[in-house]
Amino acid sequence: MSRWPAERPRVAAAAAAVATAALTLWPGAPAPGAQEPADPPSTGLTLPVADLSLTVATLDDSVATTESSRRVQVTIAADALFEVDRAALVPGAQRRLGDVARRIGAARPQEVSIEAHTDAAGSEAANQRLSERRAESVARALEGLLGAAAPTLDAVGIGERRPVAPDRPPNGAGDPRGRARNRRVSIGFSR
């Protein structure tokens, strides 16, 4: 059985909304059903332009890359770069940072921002220090990978101040997945 008869009022309402929007965007436009002028006016129309972005993540969510026409932001899970409560890079981190270094080299930005984040476990002061040491660790590694062509690297420790997920759900119990998402390093640069 066709759903068309049941959908007909919604289709008519949508068509009316489109006609109203056309009149709003195009002052002086002909009424719905009227003859359209040969040369529609093009003055007085200003539309905002949005910079679209695309985010792609690895299957294990250890790396997420967000790209727009102006900027690239690579976010790597801290657990893929560091051991717990440590700032020294684990052996596999060089490969991940090598991928980022190749993208930086291709883009040739003047500056690269490196932000290290922690979860809220432990004291705020300890998390701040840890994030600062981790940001510096990543900056040193990228500088070594990029060599003389390295742009200015701005390494900042954010600590636990900008979580992307709750460390503790409303019931007060710890949330290991939320804490893991908050432990991250974001590397951003312009195209």
Can you give the pLDDT of all 191 residues of the chain as single tens digits? 444 444 445 545 555 555 454 444 455 555 556 666 566 656 677 778 788 999 999 999 999 999 999 999 999 999 999 999 999 999 999 999 999 999 999 999 999 999 999 999 999 999 999 999 999 999 999 999 999 989 999 999 999 999 999 887 666 667 888 899 999 999 999 99
Identify whether residues 7 and 100 lie together within a single domain: no
How far, in Å, CA of 135 to CA of 117, rounded? Answer: 9
How far, in Å, CA of 178 to CA of 36, rounded? Answer: 56
Question: Is residue 48 in some structural domain?
Answer: no
Could you give the residue ranges of the DSSP H alpha helices within the chain? 4-25, 93-107, 124-146, 176-182
Identify whether residues 85 and 145 lie together within a single domain: yes
Provide the number of structural domains found in the chain: 2
Identify whether residues 11 and 82 lie together within a single domain: no
- What CATH number corresponds to the domain at position 184? 3.30.1330.60
Question: Is residue 167 in some structural domain?
Answer: yes
How far, in Å, CA of 99 to CA of 65, rounded? Answer: 11
Note if the pTM is more than 0.75: no
Give the range of the structural domain holding residue 14, as residue numbers without chain letter: 1-43
Identify whether residues 61 and 38 lie together within a single domain: no
